[in-house]
Amino acid sequence: MFSRLARPQNLAALAGALRNFSTTTACNNKVAVLGASGGIGQPLSLLLKHNAAITQLALYDIAHTPGVACDLSHIETGSEVKGYLGDAELGACLEGCDVVVIPAGVPRKPGMTRDDLFNTNASIVRDLVKACTQHCPTAFLLLVTNPVNSTVPIASEVCKAAGTYDPGRVIGVTTLDVVRANTFVANLKGLNPAEVNVPVVGGHAGKTIIPLISQATPSVEFDPETLDNLTKRIQDAGTEVVNAKAGAGSATLSMAYAGARFTNSLLAALNGKEGVIECGFIKSSETESSYFSTPLLLGKNGIEKNLGLGKLSDFETKLVEDAMDELKGSIAKGEKFASQ
């Protein structure tokens, strides 16, 4: 049902696909990663270094970015990598950016929810987005920092206050939920995960994560108990990783992969590739929630069309209903923070 960029089946294939990336038009894109020295930022920057559509890769953090940039600059791809360190260099990092990916913030630890991260990460996102409004006001802002259900509204309100807001350019990256759903469904059905696509809508935390397994391609069916358990596993997969790492971090590598996938898809569409579809958390009128993740058709101008929810099963309709209070509360919390 949903077309998209072909997904490589392993890291070597991913590297080869990105090195050989080409489009119908010349590519000259500057991409910044804010939080590039962190657990997500480093592998994310590594994956983006392989994309030939990125001519300048600007890496920012409060520590270690010169070393990270030097390390990545030795990789045999064409993009120029430069590290920027601290507040004094943030503006130079952002000047001329087409896309800014923001994974900056503290990770989850065992026993923490994404919402527990709010007080620290909300301030980080607010300040970084404010700098974006000053130095790259037309850039696409891709929010990875949790809680995404709140940080996207924060970013939007900051842009509104600066007079630079374009709702189609502030996007929460929920791709990891799609990646997980594809993998878990494929494992249960003995399919190749690279050939499975499960749209995931709603938000990016707990029960706001709503996999639309009835719309999966290829079509799959599960008995009610298996479907319920599968849905809960997709919703709680982040906690699964946090617990498995036993205090050593959260989902960094898979999140880096998912962030690179969305960024690469957006760049491919901006540079002329047609039929690129990814799910993303954006300002929306699809439901009673003012922000909602749905499949998005990407094109030369960014989001060409919100493809909406499609036909839901009764089970999925109930999931959407059950997610609303939590989702609206997280959005309101973000908007209130930004207005202070």
Residues involved in catalysis:
204
Burial tier of 226 (Cβ tally within 10 Å: 0-12, 13-18, 19+): exposed
Residue 144 marked ligand-binding: yes
φ, ψ of residue 95 to 5 degrees: the values are: -55, 125
In angstroms, what is the C-alpha Rg of the chain?
19
Residue 126 marked ligand-binding: no
Residue 39 marked ligand-binding: yes
**Spatial distance between the Cα atoms of 144 and 105, rounded to a whole number of angstroms:** 9
What's the CA dihedral at 68, 34, 138, 147 to 10 degrees? 150
Instruction: Determine how many CB atoms are found less than 10 A away from the CB of residue 170.
Output: 29
Residue 55 marked ligand-binding: no
Residues in the chain: 340
Residue 7 marked ligand-binding: no
At 210 the three-state DSSP class reads strand
Q: How many contiguous H segments (helices) and E segments (strands) does the chain have?
A: 11, 11
Residue 100 marked ligand-binding: no
Residue 121 marked ligand-binding: yes
Residue 175 marked ligand-binding: no
Residue 331 marked ligand-binding: no
Residue 38 marked ligand-binding: yes
Displacement of CA 95 from its chain's centroid (Å) = 22
Residue 261 marked ligand-binding: no
DSSP 271: T
Residue 54 marked ligand-binding: no
**Cis geometry, peptide bond prior to residue 199 (ω within 30 degrees of 0):** no
Binding residues for NAD(+): 35-41, 61, 121, 144-146, 255
Binding residues for substrate: 108, 114, 146, 180
Binding residues: 35-41, 61, 108, 114, 121, 144-146, 180, 255
